């Protein structure tokens, strides 16, 4: 089955998706002249693994099973760059690149050499997503890639990485952090809470190792945090918020955490909290935070309460 590129004219954004039934992608010979990719700013590619790809020369073709993207001089966003079908060294020539999503689909060879070649571009990256899609580790590769992007303001880590880069607290622009299925060691919370400029933190689906039952936000931690989202952490049985933690927090969302049967007493210390969202938690917790419930005093100071349906 072949997927054919249609007439697009002059474009700034291009997304290429191939479903599991497609085994080749070719651009129409009759329409090649009507395509203009020279000013392409955003490129997203998915599903190119083990697929024959023939694209207009202005985008780049598959060379020895690798998609060349180095000729896209104006590219600012590159989504789903997989080392399975792309040469990561090509990033070094994309001097305008600011947003990058890397998928580690297989073991990386000569990573130090690649990072040295691409260091100038990586230092300009503002938004970085690194997804670990391997079954054989690559945690160190994730750390090394993040350590090479010191100018980022937004970082998303998706997949196993037991420890964060130790120098993360020295990233002056890092304000947004998303952790998804990372399996971090419990002591990594100590690194997170010391990030000096972090304003937005999202924790999804086992951000910490499976035996982590208690999540503690300690006194003095997260001094600039304004938005906190905790979701799908089924292993957590207790949240603790110590007095003096997250002093600037203004929005908090907790959802899909069935192991939590009560909200932390420390929520009453969050005097700047303007919005609290609770959804899809256990029925007992929902009952306790009703206006006549025994835990309502913990949240009664919050101006906006968004209480959704219980999970069960």
d(CA 55, CA 2): 13
Q: Looking at residue 37, what is its pLDDT? A: 53
Q: Looking at residue 14, what is its pLDDT? A: 55
Q: Looking at residue 62, what is its pLDDT? A: 44
Three-state secondary structure call for residue 278: strand
Angle between helices 111-122 and 139-147 (to 10 degrees): 30
d(CA 189, CA 214): 11
Q: Looking at residue 86, what is its pLDDT? A: 82
Q: Looking at residue 51, what is its pLDDT? A: 47
User: In the chain, what are the domains?
Assistant: 1-152 (3.80.10)
Q: Looking at residue 87, what is its pLDDT? A: 84
Local mean pLDDT, 10-residue blocks, the chain (312 residues): 46 54 48 51 55 48 61 84 84 93 87 93 97 83 95 97 92 97 94 97 96 96 98 96 98 97 97 98 96 96 97 82
Residue linked to tokens 């789903």: 80
* Total-model pTM: 0.84
Are the beta carbons of 134 and 103 closer than 8 angstroms?
no
């Amino acid at each position: 089955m072949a997927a054919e590129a249609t007439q697009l004219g002059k474009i700034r954004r291009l997304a290429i998706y191939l479903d599991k039934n497609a085994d080749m992608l070719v651009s129409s010979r009759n329409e090649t002249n009507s395509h203009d990719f020279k000013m392409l700013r955003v490129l997203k590619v998915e599903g190119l693994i083990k697929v024959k790809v023939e694209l207009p020369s202005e985008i780049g073709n598959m060379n020895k099973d690798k998609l060349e993207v180095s000729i896209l001089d104006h590219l600012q966003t590159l989504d789903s760059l997989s080392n399975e079908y792309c040469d990561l060294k090509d990033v070094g020539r994309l001097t305008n690149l600011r947003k990058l999503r890397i998928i580690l689909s297989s073991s990386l060879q000569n990573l130090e050499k690649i990072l040295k070649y691409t260091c100038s571009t990586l230092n300009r990256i503002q938004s970085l997503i690194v997804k670990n899609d391997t079954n054989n580790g690559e945690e160190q590769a994730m750390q090394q890639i993040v350590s090479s992007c010191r100018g980022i303001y937004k970082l998303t880590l998706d997949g196993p990485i037991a420890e964060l880069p130790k120098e993360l607290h020295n990233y002056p622009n890092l304000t947004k952090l998303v952790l998804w299925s990372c399996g971090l060691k419990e002591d990594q919370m100590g690194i997170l809470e010391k990030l000096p400029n972090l304003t937005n933190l999202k924790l999804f689906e086992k951000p910490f190792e499976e035996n982590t039952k208690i999540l503690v936000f300690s006194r003095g931690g997260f001094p600039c945090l304004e938005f906190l989202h905790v979701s799908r952490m089924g292993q957590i049985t207790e949240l603790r918020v110590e007095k003096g933690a997250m002093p600037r927090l203004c929005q908090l969302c907790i959802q899909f955490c069935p192991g939590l049967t009560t909200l932390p007493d420390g929520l009453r210390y969050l005097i700047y909290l303007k919005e609290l969202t609770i959804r899809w938690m256990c029925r007992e917790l929902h009952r306790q935070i009703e206006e006549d419930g025994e835990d309502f005093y913990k949240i009664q100071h919050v101006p906006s309460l968004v209480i959704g349906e219980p999970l069960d």
